């Protein structure tokens, strides 16, 4: 087994490969945000199913550790690319890397994401623009870039991480609700267009999920005070999301409590949703 590290066309991007032959499938999954939380859980789940992996995030060391673990456990090929998806050049660089390495992307898990916490007006524009680049533009561009290969092979699976926030009353959480609503709508449109060509697209809409999300957002204390029944483990979210995309379901809200929230909020009058969002947001700054 060998590990190589080399520079790609994006200056902040480094790559390495840990490989042994795949055992049960010749298909490969590209997972963004695989260094933690839901993305790492997707990597574990798909490696156990025999998928080869291309793991992407900024923290190369974490990706390399995960790749080594999954290759040792499951004998799958695991390539690692350290890339910052805030960089508009990153999606093209990821696909150029895949092409150079002879990797065909059959599964795309568009998972990398985070949420800002402070007010919209008080946040510098470059930070807001970076959120849009990471969770709107890069997500959309990666979908577009993997399609030619998927269409040529007549098979593809795409999961885009939306959120229960896309169904919940809008909270004062910067751009997050709007961004995840876009991902929900865009994924359904893509699914309608692509399903006849053998490509399923699912918007995965988790509620509170144990990961590093609230550490990055700076809301760990408030999040820890929320009742346990609101929380899911990352591997539960992944199992339900993966089953949904394989069955061709365009939207997956994992977990019973989240399903109840999603289905009870939607029918409410818009003004009441606004009022509830304003009153109930646990992360609202006073």
Q: How far is the CB of 162 from ligand NAP (least distance, A)?
A: 7
Alpha-carbon dihedral angle through residues 248, 249, 251, 254, given to the nearest 10 degrees: -110
Residue with the two structure tokens 């909020």? 265
Q: How far is the CB of 33 from ligand NAP (least distance, A)?
A: 3
250 binds ligand NAP (CB under 6 A): no
> Please, are residues 201 and 1 in contact by the beta-carbon 8 Å criterion?
no
Angle between helices 37-48 and 234-247 (to 10 degrees): 60
Q: How far is the CB of 272 from ligand NAP (least distance, A)?
A: 23
Q: How far is the CB of 131 from ligand NAP (least distance, A)?
A: 9
- Three-class SS state of 282: coil
> Please, are residues 108 and 45 in contact by the beta-carbon 8 Å criterion?
no
Binding mask 3-42 for ligand NAP (x = CB under 6 A): -----------------------------xxxxxxxx---
Q: CA quadruple 131, 132, 135, 141: dihedral positive or negative?
A: negative
Q: Which two tokens stand for residue 231?
A: 């929380």
Touching ligand NAP, residues 84-103 (CB under 6 A):
84-86
Return d(Cα 98, Cα 142) in angstroms, integer: 12
- Residue 182 appears among annotated catalytic residues: no
Binding mask 118-137 for ligand NAP (x = CB under 6 A): ----------------x---
CA 277 to chain centre: 24
Binding mask 253-282 for ligand NAP (x = CB under 6 A): ------------------------------
- Total binding residues toward ligand NAP, as defined by CB under 6 A: 28
Q: Which of 77, 105, 113, 250 binds ligand NAP (CB under 6 A)?
A: 113
208 binds ligand NAP (CB under 6 A): yes
* Comparison of 76 and 80: residue with beta carbon closer to ligand NAP: 80
CA 90 to chain centre: 15
Q: How far is the CB of 56 from ligand NAP (least distance, A)?
A: 6
Edge-first strand order for the sheet with 28-32 is 6-7, 14-18, 78-82, 52-57, 28-32, 107-110, 156-161, 199-204, 251-252
**Count of residues in the chain:** 286
Return d(Cα 152, Cα 209) in angstroms, integer: 36
238 binds ligand NAP (CB under 6 A): no
Q: Which one from 51, 176, 182, 274 is the annotated catalytic residue?
A: 176
Touching ligand NAP, residues 134-163 (CB under 6 A):
134, 161, 163
Residues involved in catalysis: 176
> Which positions lie near ligand NAP, rule CB under 6 A?
32-39, 57-59, 84-86, 111-114, 134, 161, 163, 206, 208-209, 211-213, 216
């Amino acid at each position: 087994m060998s590990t190589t590290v080399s520079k790609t066309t994006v200056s902040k991007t480094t790559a390495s490969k840990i490989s042994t032959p795949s055992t049960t499938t010749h298909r490969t999954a590209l997972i963004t945000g695989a260094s933690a939380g839901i993305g790492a859980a997707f990597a574990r789940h798909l490696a156990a199913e025999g998928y080869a992996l291309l793991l992407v995030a900024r923290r190369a060391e974490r990706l390399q550790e995960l790749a080594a673990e999954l290759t040792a456990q499951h004998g799958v090929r695991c390539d690692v690319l350290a890339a910052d998806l805030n960089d508009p050049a990153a999606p093209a660089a990821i696909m150029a890397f895949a092409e150079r390495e002879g990797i065909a992307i059959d599964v795309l898990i568009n998972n990398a994401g985070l949420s800002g916490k402070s007010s919209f007006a008080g946040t510098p524009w470059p930070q807001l623009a970076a959120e849009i680049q990471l969770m709107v533009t890069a997500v959309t561009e990666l979908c577009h870039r993997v399609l030619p290969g998927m269409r040529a092979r007549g098979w593809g699976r795409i999961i885009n991480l939306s959120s229960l926030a896309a169904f919940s009353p809008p909270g004062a959480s910067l751009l997050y609700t709007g961004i995840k609503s876009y991902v929900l709508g865009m994924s359904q449109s893509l699914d309608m267009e692509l399903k006849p060509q053998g490509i399923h697209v699912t918007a995965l809409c988790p509620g509170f999920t144990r990961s590093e999300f609230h550490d990055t957002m700076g809301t760990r204390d408030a999040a820890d005070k929320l009742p346990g029944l609101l929380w899911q483990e990352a591997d539960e979210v992944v199992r339900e999301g993966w089953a949904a995309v394989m069955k061709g379901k365009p939207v997956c809200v994992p977990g019973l409590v989240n399903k109840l929230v999603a289905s009870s909020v939607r029918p409410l009058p818009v003004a009441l949703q606004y009022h509830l969002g304003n009153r109930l947001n646990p992360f609202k700054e006073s």
